Structure 1
């Protein structure tokens, strides 16, 4: 399976980059993994609702341009469906079996995802009702993808 993580913003903190590198290494035996980092838009501290929508629209354009026709798109969104780790593993496995061999996970910027990106998504997935920094969400996502592959293959993994 080919997994692409499309995300807004760069990660500068070493502890995040170290964690991401570790999960990329672990995942290399299970799938082809690509991470597509897109530029984020600068947002004023007290941005109006209109300015927020403009920022999300600009970031949304970049995200949509990175999505390929053959991708099954899973947008990470607080209003998405929540799955436990076993359900998530089964979802990925079923996608592979059904011929969706290229899955793209989309992580928006600090303001969230543009409506057009959510409309393009084949699935909206929520990891929690809580809000996480998008840098940390990338680590959490890769850990859960790794856990999903360990579950699929029957390999032991910390519970």
Structure 2
């Protein structure tokens, strides 16, 4: 199984990029991993937030394959702990899912068409975070889940 970490946004925060790369490299010891960054619509774009979400959703849906298992990160999603995330990942691996895709939406969130396409909708927190920070948290949590699956010492709960 390959893990795809997908995000709408820019790659401009150097201080977080090192951590994201570090955790991505750690994940690669368990599963092949790849980041797909989809450029956001321009901030000076005259489209409304809803129109931008629709435009971004078409970009997102074009990148997905029919049999990809999509986990969409959304504030209205289900809160889960690290152990539950490890169970989700292990279950997908046991089901021989080819690609497990984690998706971070754009500044205005995800369009309903993407939410409907998702196999699971996950909320990291009721708090709002910058997208770059969410990338770091996501990569760390996927790595943590991998160590839980292998019963390694990284997770102490």
> What TM-score, normalized by structure 1, do the two folds share?
0.92
- Structure 2 match to 1:17: 17
Whole-angstrom CA distance in 2 between matches of 1:14 and 1:134: 13
Whole-angstrom CA distance in 2 between matches of 1:110 and 1:60: 12
**Superposition deviation, residue 134 in structure 1:** 1.1
2:148–2:155 CA contact under 8 A, matched in 1: no
2:9–2:38 CA contact under 8 A, matched in 1: yes
Whole-angstrom CA distance in 2 between matches of 1:6 and 1:102: 12
SS in 1 for 2:128: coil
Deviates more, 1:93-102 or 1:124-133: 93-102
- Structure 2 match to 1:143: 140
**Which residue, out of 106, 110, 126, partners 1:109?**
106
- Structure 1 match to 2:6: 6
Post-superposition CA distance 1:113-155 (Å, at most 9, x none): 1111111101100111111111111110010000000000011
**Superposition deviation, residue 98 in structure 1:** 1.9
Give the total of aligned pairs: 156
- Structure 1 match to 2:129: 132
Which runs of 5 or more residues in structure 2 are unaligned?
A: none
Which runs of 5 or more residues in structure 1 are unaligned?
A: none
Establish whether residue 93 from structure 1 lines up as the match of residue 93 from structure 2: no
**Which residue, out of 147, 150, 154, partners 1:153?**
150
Post-superposition CA distance 1:77-108 (Å, at most 9, x none): 01111111111111111111122231001101
RMSD: 1.6
- Structure 2 match to 1:123: 120
- Structure 2 match to 1:29: 29
